[in-house]
Amino acid sequence: MATVVSYGAAEVVTGSCHLLSIDGGPNIMIDCGMFQGREEERNYGPFDFDPADVDYLLVTHAHLDHVGRIPKLVKEGFDAPIYATRATADLAEVILYDSAKIMKEDYLTRYKKAQRKGKEALEREPLYDEKDVDAAFDREWHYPEYDTPFKLTDDIEVIYHDAGHILGSAFIEIRYREKGEPRTIVFSGDIGNDNDMVLPNLESCTKADYLYVESTYGDRDHQSAEVSIAEFKSVIIQTMKNWGNVIIPSFAVERTQEILCILKEMHDRKELPQCKIFLDSPMATRATDVYRQHADLLSEKCQAFKKRDGTIFDFEDLVYTLDVEDSKKINDVNSRAIIIAGSGMCNGGRILHHFKNRLWNRKNAVLFVGYQAVGTLGRKIVDGARWVKIYHEDILIKASIHTINGFSAHAGQSAIIKWVSQMEDLKTVYLIHGEEDKQVVLRSVMENALHQKAHIVEPEEVIYLP
């Protein structure tokens, strides 16, 4: 009998890692992501399985909470084929090298601090380094095309479908046989919000026996893309009129590209007051280059930009600041600056410098356009903190704080329900990648509205698929 064990993203949002074991067949891992927020310490413990026993790794998409522990997996014995769309592999390369760099910098900072206190060594070294990332990309990689079945083994067929979440993202359909009878299990990865700003919408899934589905926003719906864009524009325009600055903590992948498209459209329509726009994130700049390389996967709007301008994202007044000195020069712009910087949850990166320099000014605005995990600085600010500590200095928050959840790359409750309702022969839905209170709400809605059995997966629970 086939089994699935979730070694991450069970009753939490991050750390996606699921192991499908087919009786008499291979062990297939779906994603190997990093834990974030208050779960971060879990990254540093040993895996609760032997990485050498994993026969295949299937990757849904390139977000850190889905790929962030792949170098650790390889470092600890995994030596088998990896399957991901070409765009996912290209983005994962950007994300994993950046992750290694950040961990190294954090380690060196802590090491110097320890030396000042007379300690000779640190208990915890970086999870992996750039050589470990090199080793991960030296593995055998395969690049499935959307909607094109391929044989994993003689008895197992896999199909990647466009999940509409970020560039290259996929939900994965796995077909196998159980005692001679055909079975299909689908792993959603993260499914998109159908806002069509940068990517085409989520594909439908019409048949599955078992579904592992994300539940990040299982307790609520997002406001519409139209309302969210209008709110975004309003904050930008009003802040510029007040001669303030807008600081946007943004995820390098997808959210940054959406913001650039909106700002470009505002510029085209002459809605944008005179200002300077800084993309102050080397990682986001590299990710944007990957989006350019895979322009054929983007939305009709992006295709129209490229046809008209020869470029998708660039426009007058947009400045890319790659080196540290250029980033520091942004401090000289006293007003009418829009600063897009990482990291998206404000737990590192250049956004901290901009917060330190501008959070205390009531003319300024902070625009949160992405999910803030529990335990992150971003979550503290969103939850109403008046003071935050940045680089050992207490900062009073006087800037206005705005949260726009309609930009989420995750499907809301109604979108999840709609997607699941299209599936025929569905025996059980397994809820993963969500906080437990959100999952309880989604389970109730599924059982009442769809009359569909739903189960909240516990960490390392063995699920038997009859």
309 shares a domain with 199: no
111 shares a domain with 85: yes
Structural contact between residues 196 and 225, judged by C-beta atoms closer than 8 angstroms: yes
List, run by run, the mean pLDDT of 10-residue segments along the chain (466 residues).
97 96 93 92 95 98 97 98 98 96 87 75 85 98 98 97 97 95 97 91 96 97 92 98 97 95 96 97 96 96 94 95 95 97 90 97 96 88 96 96 90 97 96 97 97 97 96
Of 335, 373, 367, the closest CA to residue 351 belongs to 367
**Phi, psi of 410, rounded to the nearest 5 degrees:** -95, 145
Distance (Å, rounded) from C-alpha 121 to C-alpha 307?
A: 56
242 shares a domain with 153: no
200 shares a domain with 235: no
The predicted structure's pLDDT at residue 94: 97
The CA–CA distances, whole Å, from 434 to 126, 237, 396 equal 27, 35, 32
Of 277, 218, 179, 163, the closest CA to residue 414 belongs to 218
Please report, for the domain that includes residue 275, its CATH number.
3.40.50.10890
Sign of CA dihedral 99, 102, 108, 109: negative
3-class DSSP assignment, residue 331? helix
141 shares a domain with 81: yes
Distance (Å, rounded) from C-alpha 188 to C-alpha 213?
A: 5
Q: Which of 407, 424, 455 is the last residue of a domain?
A: 407
The predicted structure's pLDDT at residue 271: 97
391 shares a domain with 296: yes
What range defines the domain where residue 170 resides?
2-220+409-465
Q: How far apart are the first and last CA of the chain?
A: 6
Question: What is the bridge-based pairing of β-strands 393-396 and 387-390?
Answer: antiparallel
Q: Show the beta-strand stretches assigned E in 114-209.
A: 141-142, 150-153, 156-162, 170-178, 181-187
Mapped to the 3 state alphabet, what secondary structure does 28-50 carry? EEECCCCCCHHHHHHHHCCCCCC
The predicted structure's pLDDT at residue 286: 97
The predicted structure's pLDDT at residue 24: 77
The predicted structure's pLDDT at residue 121: 63
The CA–CA distances, whole Å, from 120 to 75, 105, 109, 126, 199 equal 26, 18, 14, 17, 50
Q: Which of 407, 422, 444 is the last residue of a domain?
A: 407
Cα atoms found within 13 Å of the Cα of residue 126, Cβ hemisphere only? 24
The predicted structure's pLDDT at residue 196: 81
Structural contact between residues 444 and 452, judged by C-beta atoms closer than 8 angstroms: no
Domain count, the chain: 2
Please report, for the domain that includes residue 99, its CATH number.
3.60.15.10
269 shares a domain with 187: no
176 shares a domain with 78: yes
Q: Which of 407, 424, 439 is the last residue of a domain?
A: 407
Give the tokens for residue 223. 């406001």
**Phi, psi of 416, rounded to the nearest 5 degrees:** -65, -45
432 shares a domain with 400: no
The predicted structure's pLDDT at residue 98: 92
303 shares a domain with 252: yes
283 shares a domain with 379: yes
190 shares a domain with 268: no
